[in-house]
């Protein structure tokens, strides 16, 4: 793996310190940023520094973190909350898990800093129940921080009170969406509601709430120690800092990487990832999970930042990067995501609840070889309608995998509906079985296992398939 | 299907044993193999009650309590939901609404060794659906069902964050990485 292209900020401590030992974290200047803020800084100074750094949310949306904090700080209320979104719902992404398991204290510290900046006294981490080790380590980090007086009443004699508690998710992708997350934290069904009001004005228990992603928080102590000026030199003009990606799928070097914003897709997939294994050709890479799109070889020089990826019909998302090789059928792949969203739609609004089912049905029809050209048009029209009418981000972005694969792999869709062939040989119903006559040695194996007895031939003679059967 | 029919059919122990003999294991039709209710001790209810009383506040902790309840009972049948509703001063409808929303909560028991195959994107691209097919064949049950002897159940889940090891499956709390369909037989023999 080409390590030179990487730069570790959010994952700076992962693998280097013992995550269960708070003193290890002290050794890498842990809790120094919090101590500095409490003793020599002021809440507004922290917010200003965050604004200056240009850090944008790593949970997918890319909203400027400093600005979010400033809104919450400006809203007057008797109680405010800091929420860490550790629901990491994108299947195929594990950046947040790695940070929570490898460096839990940085999250605790950053949440306390945020609490100080906006005037909150309670932080809540909403964490997936599927991550038992992360839960254990985070709980231990919270306990240890309490023992050292870094959480609780009157932290470091500054008069600032702050504590952190955990709430568990229960396996619902939509709960990663911030309004649904808040509903779920309150013990309800995790159904999103319309924004505004945004959580910064009315969130958890209707109080001003900052919701930030795990990786966003992990950046914060580093920014405050090294300074916003340092941080803002890294990355591109509108996307500062680094981004952690989880490389998975058909790629040689699977695992987590962290690269400066602006690194190209090609550098990530070929220089760092090593390309596809077994000599297979690279076909596409999906960024942004079920909300994103597939990028192909022609996009290989696209710099990775929020705006460039959106311009290409995909999105940054939380950082999952699934690489596909020539053996992947793009229609089948789009169908996989629709199957996922169909399962995960909360059902609150019609375009998403019913639309996902209809989209899935059309894709299913195509992969079964029963599609027509009209289905392709229907697919596109319905996709655009859902995009415009769904209530929350899940529904609005659900058609992206379809639209983006239709843009770049229209020929594959056409092969499925017109020639009734699956070019990647994935869709079983579109496969044609033939016997290569010159290779057939008459071993009779095929005839013996054929479920419909349509193969005839004598031992040591060429066999034939009777297509009429 | 309403909760009444879904859970009602397993309420009667006699009926449960009947379905046991008939061999049907479908969790959706309600012909499920629930454990003998007499063996569910009152002690578990007591423990749950203590947990609820130990909470700083009841408001907003329904999901927390359901996690605890499922941890104790293994699943959330109607009686447990009713108990939680009473203790939390909520309606049964509200509790059922939450239980049915989240995939983590189950209203029917799992096998002794619950098998979960990850069908997240990374595992999908690496052929997780072939694992599911092989498991279905070897155990002769569908996804969401329990084997006749109650030993295994198959479920699919969406990503456990071990995507670098795809495809992944878990049996109980043990994780199997880079699984291929031909390893399944050996893995099942461990149990
Ligand atoms: C369907 C959907 C799923 C989401 N899932 C996650 C998630 O798993 N983790 C996350 O941090 N943000 C997720 N988000 C984004 C959150 O709504 C929110 O923007 C984010 O937590 C804000 O934090 P940030 O500003 O630090 O990115 C999701 C959004 C949508 C629409
Ligand atoms: S878009 Fe989908 S997930 Fe979002 S509120 Fe509507 S139904 Fe629920
Ligand atoms: S996709 Fe299977 S573990 Fe993440």
Assign A177 to helix, strand or coil.
coil
Cα separation, A335 vs A343, in Å, equals: 12
Coil, strand or helix at B93: helix
- Report whether pLDDT(B101) > 90: yes
ipTM of the complex model: 0.88
The predicted pLDDT at position A467 comes to 77
- Kind of pairing, strands B113-118 and A464-465? unpaired
The predicted-structure confidence for B134-183, as pLDDT tens digits, reads as follows 999 999 999 988 998 889 999 998 889 899 899 999 998 899 999 999 99
Chain B contact for A68, CB < 8 A? Answer: no
What is the pLDDT at residue A216? 97
CA Rg value for chain B: 18
Bridge partners of A177, per DSSP, are: none
CB neighbour burial string for B58-97, b if at least 16 within 10 angstroms, e if fewer: beebbbbbbbbbbeebbbbbbebbebbbebbebeeebbbe
CA dist B20 and B11 (Å) reads 14
Contact A172 B101 (CB under 8 A): yes
Position B18 scores a pLDDT of: 34
**Below-50 pLDDT ranges, chain A:** none
d(CA A231, CA A55): 8
Q: Which atom of ligand 1 is nearest to A396's Cα?
A: 31
Encoding tokens for residue A444? 């009779």
A 315-344 near B (Cβ less than 8 A): 320, 322-324, 328, 333, 336-337, 340, 343-344
CA atoms within 13 A on the CB side of A286: 31
Rg (CA), chain A: 26
CA A95 vs CA A10, A72, A250, A307, B160: distances in Å: 10, 27, 18, 21, 12
What are the angstrom distances between the C-alpha of B15 and each of A464, B12, B40?
53, 5, 17
The answer to whether A55 and A64 are in contact (CB under 8 A) is: yes
CB contacts, 8 Å: B71 with chain A: none
Contact B49, B72 (CB under 8 A): no
- Chain B, residues 73-102, CB within 8 A of chain A, namely 97-98, 101-102
Q: For residue range B28-82, list pLDDT tens digits in order.
A: 444 444 444 555 567 889 999 999 999 988 899 999 999 999 999 888 999 999 9
Counting every residue written for chain B, the total comes to 191
Cα torsion A10, A15, A17, A22 to 10°: value is: 70
Is B13 a residue whose pLDDT tops 70? Answer: no
Residue with tokens 């007086």: A149
Tokens for B87? Answer: 């203790």
pLDDT at residue B151, rounded to an integer: 92
Q: What angle do helix axes A65-74 and A104-118 make, rounded to 10 degrees? A: 40
User: What's the distance, CA A225 to chain centroid?
Assistant: 28
Residues with CB under 6 A from ligand 1: A 57-61, 63, 85, 87-89, 174, 176-178, 211-213, 216, 318, 392-394
pLDDT score of B19: 34
Nearest to B139 by CA among B178, B179, B111, B180: B111
Beta carbons of A233 and A274 less than 8 angstroms apart: no
In this prediction the pTM is 0.89
CA distance B99 to chain A (A): 8
- The pLDDT confidence band at residue B24, using thresholds 50, 70 and 90, is very low
**Where do we find the tokens 């240890």?**
A144
Q: Find out whether B143 and B111 touch, Cβ atoms under 8 Å.
A: no
Distance CA A199, CA A206 (A): 8
State which residue of chain A sits closest to B100, comparing Cα positions. A189
Average pLDDT, chain B: 81
Taking Cα atoms as reference points, which of A450, A416, A399, A182 lies closest to residue A292?
A399
- Please give the DSSP secondary-structure letter assigned to residue B174: E
Angle between the A65-74 and A43-53 helix axes, to the nearest 10 degrees? Answer: 150
């Amino acid at each position: 793996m080409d390590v030179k292209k990487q730069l570790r900020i959010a994952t700076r401590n992962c693998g280097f310190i013992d995550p269960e030992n708070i003193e290890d974290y002290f050794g890498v200047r842990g809790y120094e940023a919090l101590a500095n803020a409490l003793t020599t800084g002021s809440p507004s100074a922290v917010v200003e520094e965050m604004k200056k750094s240009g850090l944008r949310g790593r949970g997918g949306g890319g909203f400027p973190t400093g600005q979010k904090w400033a809104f919450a700080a400006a809203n007057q209320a008797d109680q405010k909350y800091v929420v860490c979104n550790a629901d990491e719902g994108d299947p195929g992404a594990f950046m947040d898990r790695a940070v929570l398991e490898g460096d839990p204290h940085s999250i605790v510290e950053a949440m306390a800093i945020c609490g100080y900046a906006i005037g909150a006294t309670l932080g809540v981490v909403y964490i997936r129940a599927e991550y038992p080790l992360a839960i254990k380590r985070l709980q231990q980090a919270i306990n240890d921080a309490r023992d050292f007086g870094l959480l609780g009443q009157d932290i470091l004699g500054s008069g600032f009170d702050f504590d952190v508690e955990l709430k568990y998710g229960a396996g619902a992708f939509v709960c990663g969406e911030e309004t649904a997350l808040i509903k779920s934290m309150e013990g309800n069904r995790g159904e999103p509601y319309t924004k505004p009001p945004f959580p910064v004005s009315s969130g958890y228990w209707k109080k001003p709430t900052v919701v930030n992603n795990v990786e966003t928080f992990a950046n914060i102590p580093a920014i405050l120690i090294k300074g916003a000026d340092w941080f803002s030199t890294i990355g591109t003009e509108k996307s500062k800092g680094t981004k952690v990606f989880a490389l998975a799928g058909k790629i040689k070097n699977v695992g987590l990487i962290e690269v400066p914003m602006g690194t190209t897709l090609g550098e990530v997939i070929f220089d760092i990832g090593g390309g596809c294994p077994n000599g297979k050709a690279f076909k596409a890479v999906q960024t942004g999970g079920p909300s994103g799109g597939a990028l192909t070889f022609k996009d290989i020089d696209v710099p990775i930042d929020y705006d460039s990826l959106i311009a290409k019909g995909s999105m940054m998302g939380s950082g999952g990067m699934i690489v596909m090789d020539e053996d992947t059928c793009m229609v089948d792949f789009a169908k996989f995501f629709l199957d996922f969203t169909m399962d995960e739609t909360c059902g609150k609004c019609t375009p998403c609840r019913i639309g996902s089912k209809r989209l899935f049905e059309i894709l299913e029809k195509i992969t079964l070889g029963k599609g027509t050209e009209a289905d392709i048009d229907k697919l596109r029209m319905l996709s655009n309608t859902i995009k415009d009418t769904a209530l929350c981000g899940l529904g609005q972005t659900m058609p992206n995998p379809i639209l983006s694969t239709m843009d770049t792999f229209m020929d594959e869709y056409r092969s499925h509906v017109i020639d009734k062939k699956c070019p990647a040989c994935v869709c079983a119903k579109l496969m044609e079985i033939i016997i290569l006559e010159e290779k057939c040695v008459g071993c009779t194996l095929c005839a013996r296992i054929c479920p419909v007895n349509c193969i005839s031939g004598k031992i040591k003679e060429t066999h034939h398939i009777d297509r009429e059967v | 299907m309403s909760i009444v029919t879904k859970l009602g059919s397993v309420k009667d122990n006699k009926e449960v044993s009947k379905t046991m003999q008939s061999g049907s294991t479908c969790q959706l039709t309600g012909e499920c193999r629930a454990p003998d209710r007499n063996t569910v001790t009152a002690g578990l209810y007591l423990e749950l009650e203590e947990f609820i009383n130990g909470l700083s506040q009841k408001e907003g902790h329904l999901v927390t309590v359901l996690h605890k309840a499922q941890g104790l009972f293994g699943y959330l049948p109607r009686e447990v939901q009713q108990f939680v509703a009473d203790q939390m001063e909520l309606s049964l409808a509200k509790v059922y609404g939450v239980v049915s929303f989240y995939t983590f909560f189950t209203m029917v028991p799992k096998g002794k060794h619950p098998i979960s195959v990850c069908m997240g994107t990374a595992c999908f691209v690496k052929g997780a659906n072939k694992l599911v097919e092989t498991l279905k064949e070897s155990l002769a049950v569908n996804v969401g069902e329990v084997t006749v002897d109650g030993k295994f159940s198959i479920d699919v889940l969406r990503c456990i964050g071990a995507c670098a090891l795809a495809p992944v499956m878990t049996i109980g709390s043990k994780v199997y990485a880079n699984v291929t369909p031909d390893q399944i037989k050996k893995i099942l023999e461990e149990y």
